[in-house]
Amino acid sequence: MNYFPDEVIEHVFDFVTSQKDRNAVSLVCKSWYKIERLSRQSVFIGNCYAISPERVIGRFPGLKSLTLKGKPHFADFNLLPYDWGGWVYPWVEALAKSRVGLEELRLKRMVVSDDCLELLSRSFVNFKSLVLVSCEGFTTDGLAAIAANCRYLRELDLQEIEVDDNRGQWISCFPDSCTSLVSLNFSCLKGEINLTALERLVARSPNLKSLRLNRAVPLDTLQKLLMRAPQLVDLGIGSFVYDPSSEAYIKLKATLVKCKSIRSLSGFLEVVPCCLSAIHPVCQNLTSLNLSYAPGIHGNELIKLIRFCRKLERLWILDSIGDRGLGVVAFTCKELQELRVFPSGVDNAAVTEEGLVAISAGCPKLHSLLYFCQQMTNAALITVAKNNSNFTRFRLCILDREKPDPVTMQPLDEGFGAIVQSCKRLRRLSLSGLLTDQVFLYIGMYAEQLEMLSIAFAGNSDKGMLYVLNGCKKLRKLEIRDSPFGNTALLTDVGKYETMRSLWMSSCEVTLGGCQTLAKKMPRLNVEIINEDDQMEFSLDDRQKVGKMYLYRTLVGPRKDAPDFVWTL
């Protein structure tokens, strides 16, 4: 390859798209490093504190798409104080100052202010796509700035966001000249929305493929929107409250029949627990169905709906479907690849090991699972492992903490052991139920491809954590809460943490002294102790157990924006 001109090599590199592959390519030689970095357009930063914006921009001046992740995963469950960090403003500021022609920004678990959105909207002429997942810190004013200023906006996608202030007029800020929208998702916004402005926006967006509405959009508006956008592929219904005899409903039924392109359906944020027969015509073509935000739909209605969904590949649902409903899924959805069953909180609704066994038997293509259940048995897990060795993601959450196998009263070590032994391509695993060190022995032995492991209320001793750290060579993220792992486990192989993105340990047995030792030995790790209630003001005893520790590798040292309660050792 040495005697090809750079342009040719660059052209070859155009076909290398995955970040992993491009990283590998850049390590071959200096010349390839240079060609690769100048031609890279899409950069993924898994931990925004591992590197500085200036260095990213310096290395990839041609960058057009940036993905950033901020807070650790357990922040989703309120384990991290509100203002721990993850502000994206410095990144946007640095990008704005440089000559980067940013077109796409995807953020997860970061804090985004209105000022930041304003700056973003004004700084990049060709900005096209903004995707915010599980972010916070902004109001609809920020959205208004994006709408008003991004002339070629194609995608505005808000997922699982709690926006406090909500005034609904931001949708009117899209100028009449904006006709480029392809994807608009504001389903998580709680307040009112200007319906007329929304209708006009959809009417002038011929390329619109994905539209997810919030609960403030009523049925008659939905019908009008569908009339204007029959080309929709992905629909998120806001409010599905209606009177079955009303004209609006009859019209909607007719319109839905015409929407032959819809492949993905979600929402039903407000729903009357009555029949959903209007949806049935759409079901036969669906590949993705998300009813996990719709506790108003009863189990029986769900089952009726599922019977029509033969092509389903992805299903997100509440446990109100029950084991019986999962049996119907197993019977009907032979193409199913991803299943998520969330808790609905209704007492008798929960699913058990029966549903999971049925699914594993009936859905041969299933490889991604998130399953909240009342109970699980070893026998069931062993059966699942026999039925299906394709799992790449297996996340099981038994709602009752540390619950053993209800039949044998044994820990679930053997069951999970069977899963990791059988599923050789397993990359992500979450454990629950009663578990001893034994399960970690199995994980260390068999889970060779494991990249992310979540542990809660499990294990007996340091050995457990050591089995994992020693055995899982590809481990990148380890998060542990309320488990008896202490300094020995933490300090036995300190070099391991530089091969990982991050480690979270809360309510474990590690002490301040242990963390300090680690921090001293590994200068390229940030070891953060997160103190709540101003505990730092009191005496600092080495033997004191640490409430929350989050450590991650970094090239730029301790972060300068850490709040008072975060102590970087």
- CA–chain centroid gap for 550, Å, is 19
Total Cβ atoms within 10 A of residue 533 = 10
Q: Which of residues 547-566 bind another protein (CB under 8 A)?
A: 547, 561, 563-564
Name which of 134 and 378 has its Cβ closer to another protein: 134
- Whole-angstrom distance, CA of residue 281 vs CA of residue 283: 6
Among 5, 409, 495, 523, binds another protein (CB under 8 A): 409
Among 46, 191, 484, 558, binds another protein (CB under 8 A): 484
Name which of 4 and 82 has its Cβ closer to another protein: 82
Q: Which of residues 244-263 bind another protein (CB under 8 A)?
A: none
Amino acid at 523: P
Among 6, 7, 76, 498, binds another protein (CB under 8 A): 76
Name which of 324 and 559 has its Cβ closer to another protein: 559
Q: Which residues contact 82 (CB under 8 A, 6 or more apart)?
A: none
Residue 541 sits in the site that holds another protein (CB under 8 A): yes
Characterize the bridge pairing of strands 525-530 and 548-553: antiparallel
Q: Report yes or no: 430 and 450 within 8 Å, Cβ to Cβ.
A: no
Residue 436 sits in the site that holds another protein (CB under 8 A): no
Total Cβ atoms within 10 A of residue 481 = 18
Residue 79 sits in the site that holds another protein (CB under 8 A): yes
In angstroms, the Cα distances linking 256 to 210, 224, 226, 232, 278 are 15, 11, 8, 11, 7
Among 477, 481, 501, 553, binds another protein (CB under 8 A): 481
The SS3 of residue 98 is coil
Among 33, 87, 249, 331, binds another protein (CB under 8 A): 87
Name which of 36 and 405 has its Cβ closer to another protein: 405
Name which of 259 and 452 has its Cβ closer to another protein: 452
Amino acid at 114: D
Q: How many residues bind another protein (CB under 8 A)?
A: 72
Residue 316 sits in the site that holds another protein (CB under 8 A): no
Rg (CA), the chain: 25
Q: Measured from the CB of residue 45, what is the shortest distance to another protein in angstroms?
A: 19
- Which x/- pattern, by CB under 8 A, does the window 205-244 give for another protein? ----------------------------------------
Name which of 362 and 486 has its Cβ closer to another protein: 486
Assigned token pair, 422: 């059988």
Phi and psi for 498 in degrees, rounded to 5?
-75, -15
Length of the chain: 569
Q: Measured from the CB of residue 439, what is the shortest distance to another protein in angstroms?
A: 16
Among 158, 509, 514, 554, binds another protein (CB under 8 A): 509
Among 108, 367, 393, 403, binds another protein (CB under 8 A): 403
Q: Report yes or no: 388 and 380 within 8 Å, Cβ to Cβ.
A: no
Residue 428 sits in the site that holds another protein (CB under 8 A): no
Among 78, 99, 495, 523, binds another protein (CB under 8 A): 78
In angstroms, the Cα distances linking 265 to 279, 280, 303, 551 are 10, 12, 16, 39
Half-sphere exposure of 316 (CA within 13 A, CB side): 13
- Closest by CA to 194, choosing from 147, 231, 150, 228, is 147
Q: Judged by CB under 8 A, which stretch of 35-43, 248-256, 417-425, 530-538 contacts another protein?
A: 530-538
Among 3, 99, 523, 534, binds another protein (CB under 8 A): 534
Q: Which of residues 98-157 bind another protein (CB under 8 A)?
A: 113-115, 134, 136-138
Residue for token pair 């989050």: 550
Q: Which of residues 2-61 bind another protein (CB under 8 A)?
A: none
Residue 94 sits in the site that holds another protein (CB under 8 A): no
Assigned token pair, 255: 């319109």
Name which of 208 and 341 has its Cβ closer to another protein: 341
Q: Report yes or no: 44 and 19 within 8 Å, Cβ to Cβ.
A: yes
Residue 407 sits in the site that holds another protein (CB under 8 A): no
Q: Report yes or no: 168 and 193 within 8 Å, Cβ to Cβ.
A: yes
Residue 281 sits in the site that holds another protein (CB under 8 A): no
Among 186, 242, 372, 394, binds another protein (CB under 8 A): 372
Among 122, 296, 324, 494, binds another protein (CB under 8 A): 296
Among 434, 443, 465, 519, binds another protein (CB under 8 A): 434
Phi and psi for 567 in degrees, rounded to 5?
-120, 110
Half-sphere exposure of 449 (CA within 13 A, CB side): 14
- Whole-angstrom distance, CA of residue 359 vs CA of residue 388: 10
Q: Which of residues 324-353 bind another protein (CB under 8 A)?
A: 342-347
